[in-house]
Amino acid sequence: MVVLGKRTLTLRVAYFAYASLVPLFAFDVFTPQRLAAEITYEIPVMLAAFTGDRKLTYRLLLCALLTTEIAAILDAAADHFRWDAIGIENRALSILSLLIVAALTLAVQRASERLGRAAALEGQRRRATALSVAADHVLAALSSRELDATIVREAAAVFGTSQVFWQPAGGASGCWALCGDRPALAVPHELPPTVVTLLRDAAGAEHIGFAGHPQAGRERCLQIPAGDAGVLLAILPNAECNEESLLAAATFRGLVLGALEQARLTTDLVARNAALNEKQGVIEGLIDAIAHDLRTPLGALSVTLQQASDGAYGALPLDYDEVLRESRTSIEDIRGLAETLLVVARLEGGGLVPRGQRVRLDVIARELTSEFGALAASRNIEIVTQAEEDSVALADRGDLRRAVANLLANAIQHTPGQGTVRLDVRRNGNSIDVVVADDGYGIDERLRPHLFERFSRGAAIGSGTGLGLYIVRRVVEEAGGAVRYEPGEPRGSRFTLSLPRAA
């Protein structure tokens, strides 16, 4: 099956449409005036609907109008310039019909363009989501074997294919391949000869690219060399072999390289700290590696992408600007994960010490309402905030703000559209209560006893690190307060932070 590019299809249709005007003109000239042969000029105009080229439609319409007028004159000349009344009426009606067909063709082309743009945006959003999920999964895989299997599985999800091959460095005895929906280690003699050849060629490549001629078949191979780390192959349909796939491949390669480096760092850290307390050593070493090796370069990369999106390096096409924004969102997600793990390390290591700052919780509530307003609006959720003035507590402002933001983000995430999230701050005797309530899905009763423990998820839907509510509890406890959960009525959740009120 040969897949034609848009430009090639447009040229072929244009050649055929222009060429068809010649026999149609001849047919019109050699028929009597009373025979409405001129109606056939609609055919070339209708063909333009398959191209999406509006300029071609206008040109074909002009040519058809000129041709029908010339044919009318020649028809009359052949009849000693006697104009038949019925022939004139037929000619006028055919011109009107031609204009209507052209208008419909242009409408179809505009609708096709809108659908094409919508499909492209949906594809970009889907791929950005898949890359974000892949980042979480790949970075969560610590052992080499688990990481290799995760790379194959997540590459299949990102590129939408069931044919993925990953050969890590030093993997001459075999490579990881996707077999059905489960990754498995394959030895060379079990692999197709074409795959073995492609792996060998891709291992020596320096850049990401496609292997195979675009018109040789229905599929091509996306080669993603990862330097000394290995090589990844994804078999894609010709329709997916585009610039967007190359950009996604570059992002995914960065994730793979970062995860492999993380896996090596984790192995080294475990080896160096084997004599120390297992829990303390692993957490502190792993979080230190993530915080210093990922957070700083990701922050710099995020700033660079923002500058590029703002035009610091020149104007960018709209498609590139969209890609930059989506890439920056993915980077910020990974940075957020690193920040979360860093807070956990401080909590576990005893580094979270209350500084006794006077914190105005009513100000924090208004700040977070403004900050999460766009996210809530995008999900068609209303945030209702009521905060009593001068609600002051003693705590670390940054950590307390993170705790309230965590609850607010969870409430928005687990509330369906048309729902409501409430954020209330009120004085309660010698305490300040911060209440975050929603009318969302609620929390399964079986999960509630372990809700504020590490690596516990408060709902059966969604995904995350399982550390958010644990951080909330520890931050509030370090400030001398407490946090509790209550099911909402008739549904939803209600979290209350009680903090000592400052004098």
- Going by CATH, does the domain composed of 142-249 fall within 3.30.450? yes
Which pTM value belongs to this model?
A: 0.39
Phi, psi of 327 (to 5 degrees): -65, -40
Is the bond into 490 cis (omega within 30 degrees of 0)? yes
Delimit the domains of the chain by residue range.
Answer: 6-117, 142-249, 357-500
Q: What is the CATH number of domain 357-500?
A: 3.30.565.10
DSSP 474-489: HHHHHTT-EEEEEE-S
Q: Which two three-digit tokens encode residue 240? A: 């997916």
- The residue type found at 134 is A
Q: Sheet containing 209-211: which strands, arranged edge to edge?
A: 182-186, 175-179, 164-168, 230-237, 219-225, 209-211
Pairing of strands 209-211, 230-237: unpaired
Coil, helix or strand for 178? strand
pLDDT given at position 422: 93
> How far apart, in whole angstroms, are the C-alpha atoms of residue 176 and residue 167?
6
- The residue type found at 289 is A
Helix, strand, coil share of the chain (percent; to 5)? 60, 15, 25
C-beta of residue 412 within 8 angstroms of C-beta of residue 398: no
Helices and strands, counts by H and E, the chain:
14, 13
55 exposed, middle or buried (CB, 10 Å; 0-12, 13-18, 19+)? exposed
pLDDT given at position 170: 67
**Average pLDDT, 10 consecutive residues per value, the chain (503 residues):** 56 81 77 68 77 80 80 71 68 78 80 72 69 68 74 83 82 70 74 80 80 64 82 82 83 81 73 62 62 67 75 72 74 69 66 66 90 87 90 85 89 89 90 91 84 65 64 86 88 91 82
Closest by CA to 256, choosing from 231, 222, 290, is 231
User: For 243-265, what is the HEC assignment?
Assistant: HHHHHHHHHHHHHHHHHHHHHHH
User: For residues 102, 103, 104 and 106, what is the CA-based torsion angle, rounded to 10 degrees?
Assistant: 90
Pairing of strands 230-237, 357-360: unpaired
> How far apart, in whole angstroms, are the C-alpha atoms of residue 270 and residue 409?
34
Run of H or E including 392: strand 392-395
